[in-house]
Amino acid sequence: MLDKHPSEAQRTFGDLMMFSSEEEIAILKEAKLLASCDYERNTKWGFSYESLLESTFTGYLLHCRGWTSVYLCPTRPCFLGCTTIDMKDALVQLVKWSSGLLQIGLSRFSPLSYGVSRMSTLQSMCYGYFIYQPLYAIAFLIYGIIPQLCFLNGIPLYPKVLSPWFAVFSTVYLSAIGQQLHEVLSDGGTTLTWWNEQRIWVIKSVSGSCFGCLDLFMKWSGMKKTTFRLTNKAVDKDKLEKYEKGEFDFQGATMFMIPLSALAILNMACFIGGLGGIILRRNYEEMFGQIFLTVFIMALSYPMIQGLLKRIKKEKQ
């Protein structure tokens, strides 16, 4: 994506090829200055909340100032970077992102107030989707705890299988799953890729996003100071082999394993305890929705259970 000011919105990528040598030298000189460490020297960068917003979500602030974007997808990649390859570093990075994004969403720069008055409603809603995404953690914890406890105590929460309302629930759920599966397959992925994305979504919601919300609360309450944390992107040979094989590596992620393990154990315990009650009461139609939800979460939690068992096995050795 290339961001341009409205006064230059008509300039296309082809126009860049028509610059003279002097213009090219000037552009390269400006680019080197922008990439250097002296670009923000003697400025107010880092000393205001707006500069914090700009460092966290630059595109959002630029669009609020009237800049527009054009789509540019060259055959050759613009740049190649490295990403995290183990669960610990990935979740530490997610906590940092979640805390920063939610801080913007709950400030006066919220896309629902500040953004909607400076850009189109649809664009501000798109920004709002990403900024408020950490709040998924609250909804996921509710769906991962309350239906299971009700299932254990034999309390139905969803319509019966033969009820017309059950068809509504099923249609909404299957359409959402089908849409994501279509996006993955159309982009060259496989069903395994889609399934791993579902698992990653669970891990992100329960651990990274949840700790991000907690991190922001601690900052606001004064229990924690705002610090700049770097993400470790050093490549370890053993971790790289696990990453290339598609294995989940939870080594060093003890803190993040606590809510994941607790949720997985709770689902298994409620499923075993609630299944006996259903067999006695024979109310399969009433409890089918909760049975499916519990089994589905346990299937998604398999990597966490596997990682927990490996960890226990290593400690015994």
Over residues 260-280, the pLDDT tens digits come to 888 888 888 888 888 888 888
| pLDDT the model gives residue 56 | 57
Over residues 101-159, the pLDDT tens digits come to 888 888 888 888 888 888 888 888 988 988 898 888 888 888 888 988 988 888 888 88
Q: Chain-wide mean pLDDT for the chain? A: 77
pLDDT-based confidence at 58, cuts 50/70/90? Answer: confident
| pLDDT the model gives residue 175 | 92
- Give this prediction's pTM: 0.69
| pLDDT the model gives residue 41 | 64
Q: Which residue has the tokens 């900052």?
A: 219
The values of phi and psi at residue 281, to 5°, are -85, -20
User: Which of 268, 155, 116, 140 shows the shortest CA–CA distance to 205?
Assistant: 140
Are 154 and 146 in contact by the 8 Å Cβ rule? The answer is no
Are 292 and 251 in contact by the 8 Å Cβ rule? The answer is no
| HSE toward the beta carbon, residue 25, CA cutoff 13 A | 3
**Spans of all domains in the chain:** 134-316
Q: Which residue has the tokens 């969803």?
A: 158
The values of phi and psi at residue 2, to 5°, are -115, 125
Over residues 204-240, the pLDDT tens digits come to 888 888 888 888 888 878 777 666 666 666 667 777 7
* Alpha helix positions (H), the chain: 13-16, 21-35, 49-56, 58-64, 87-105, 121-131, 136-152, 164-186, 191-203, 209-220, 237-245, 254-281, 284-300, 302-316
Are 206 and 96 in contact by the 8 Å Cβ rule? The answer is no
Over residues 150-206, the pLDDT tens digits come to 888 888 888 888 888 888 888 988 998 899 899 999 888 888 888 888 888 888 888
Q: How many CB atoms lie within 10 A of CB 298?
A: 17
User: Which of 255, 313, 311, 211 shows the shortest CA–CA distance to 88?
Assistant: 255
